[in-house]
Amino acid sequence: MATTKITVKNNGPLRVEGEIEVVDKDGTPYHLGGRNVISFCGCGLSEKKPFCDGSHKGGFVHDAVAFDLPPVDINT
């Protein structure tokens, strides 16, 4: 099984590496041009959303530090 790695970057995007398929709200795939590394916009400033175009530089602050999510409540 192929592994997909997502790296949350400080003050920037979510970098995705590995075999992935990205689809829009209707299920239509984005054509990634053979890329196996892409970055998703994390700030909302990109002109090429959902992909990062570097617009975050100097205008977005996010300290990417890992934390644990609570367990899934199977009763809801």
- What are the residue ranges spanned by the domains of the chain? 1-20+34-65
Residue 1 has pLDDT above 60, yes or no: no
Q: What is the pLDDT of residue 62?
A: 87
pLDDT, tens digit, 9 for 90 and up, residues 17-28: 999 999 999 999
Class of domain 1-20+34-65: alpha beta
Nearest to 12 by CA among 44, 37, 35, 36: 44
The C-alpha atoms of residue 50 and residue 75 are separated, in whole angstroms, by 33
pLDDT, tens digit, 9 for 90 and up, residues 18-76: 999 999 999 999 999 999 999 999 888 899 999 999 998 877 888 999 999 999 998 86
Residue 12 has pLDDT above 90, yes or no: no
Q: Where is pLDDT greater, at 16 or 3? A: 16
